[in-house]
């Protein structure tokens, strides 16, 4: 049965899941065309953007933001990853499950950053991964270098440091 725009039948089915990508540095304007760059990303679904950032506490680093408005970053583009059949409460449940794995004090620029979170979230929501170029620099760094904790702590300030406002487990649903 088809639903008319003004009919009382409720729309069922899927909703889009977007990856919102942000530039961390003006150099990305050039690096982007070479398939490189340093990016922050968030997953947008049901009008909410979910992202992951670092802080010094053993609580979740996942936070909610207005779509395409992540403080401290320059919005670059929105990419449709796929669709999900999950409603807002179920999406929230997925984020709460991921919150156990993505603690703010476990953030690592190379091995557990915002793009890793978005990839995991998109796979759980849609079955599809994020585009490989979004986290390419971290993969190159992981395979080319052995970065110790002191170096990782130094570089953390350039990407996703200090999760904004309230983590997901402190926000009302």
List 70, 114, 118, 159, catalytic entry:
114
Would the pLDDT of 115 be above 90?
yes
Mean pLDDT of 131-139: 85
Domain count, the chain: 1
pLDDT of residue 71: 87
The CATH number of the domain where 75 resides is what?
A: 3.90.1720.30
Look up the domain containing 57 and give its range: 15-169
Mean pLDDT of the chain: 81
List 40, 55, 70, 116, catalytic entry:
40
Handedness of CA 63, 65, 71, 73 (dihedral sign): positive
9 domain-assigned: no
Residues of the chain with pLDDT > 70, as a percent, come to 72
114 has catalytic annotation: yes
3 has catalytic annotation: no
């Amino acid at each position: 049965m088809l639903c008319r725009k003004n009919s009382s039948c409720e729309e069922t089915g899927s909703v889009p899941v977007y990856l919102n990508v942000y530039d961390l540095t003006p150099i990305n304007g050039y690096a982007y065309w070479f398939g490189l760059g340093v990016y922050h990303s968030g997953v947008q679904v049901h009008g909410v953007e979910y992202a992951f950032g670092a802080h010094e506490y053993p609580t979740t680093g996942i936070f909610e933001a207005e779509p395409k408005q992540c403080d401290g970053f320059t919005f670059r583009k929105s990419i449709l990853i796929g669709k999900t059949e999950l409603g807002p409460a179920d999406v929230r449940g997925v984020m709460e499950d991921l919150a156990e794995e993505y603690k703010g004090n476990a953030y690592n620029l190379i091995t557990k950053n915002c793009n890793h979170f978005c990839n995991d979230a998109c796979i759980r929501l849609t079955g599809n991964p994020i585009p490989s170029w979004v986290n390419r620099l971290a993969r190159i760094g992981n395979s080319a270098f052995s970065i110790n904790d002191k170096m990782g702590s130094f570089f953390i300030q350039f990407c996703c440091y200090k999760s904004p406002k309230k983590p997901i487990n402190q926000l009302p649903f």
